[in-house]
Copies of this chain bind each other. A is one copy, B any other.
Amino acid sequence: MSKREIILHTATRLFSEKGYHNTAIAEIAKLTGVAEGTIFYHFKTKEELFAAILDNIKLTIVEKYGEFFKEKQFATGLEMLESCVYFYLFLVGTREEMFLILHRYDAYELAQENQVFRTHFTEIYNYILDVFEKAILKGRDDESMSVESTGKAAFIIFTMVDGVARLRTFNLYDAASLYEQLQKSCRRILQSRPPA
Interface of A toward B, CB cutoff 8 Å: 18-19, 21-22, 103-106, 108-109, 149, 152-153, 155-156, 159-160, 162-164, 167, 170, 172-173, 177-178, 181-182, 185, 188-189, 193-194, 196
Contact B170 A155 (CB under 8 A): no
A23 shortest CB reach to chain B, Å = 11
Q: How far is the CA of A108 from the CA of B181 in the complex (A)?
A: 25
Q: How far is the CA of A182 from the CA of B21 in the complex (A)?
A: 34
A189: chain B residues within 8 A (beta carbon): 185, 188-189
Q: How far is the CA of A167 from the CA of B181 in the complex (A)?
A: 23
Contact B181 A156 (CB under 8 A): yes
- Measured CB to CB, the nearest residue on chain B to A193 is B193
A55 shortest CB reach to chain B, Å = 20
- Measured CB to CB, the nearest residue on chain B to A106 is B105
- Measured CB to CB, the nearest residue on chain B to A100 is B105
Q: How far is the CA of A196 from the CA of B19 in the complex (A)?
A: 49
A2 shortest CB reach to chain B, Å = 30
A105: chain B residues within 8 A (beta carbon): 19, 103-106, 170
- Measured CB to CB, the nearest residue on chain B to A155 is B178
A152: chain B residues within 8 A (beta carbon): 177-178, 181
Contact B19 A106 (CB under 8 A): yes
Give 23 A-B contacts (CB < 8 Å), ordered by A residue: A19-B21, A19-B106, A21-B21, A21-B22, A105-B105, A108-B170, A149-B181, A152-B178, A153-B181, A155-B181, A156-B178, A156-B181, A156-B182, A159-B160, A159-B163, A159-B164, A159-B167, A160-B160, A160-B163, A162-B163, A188-B188, A193-B193, A194-B196
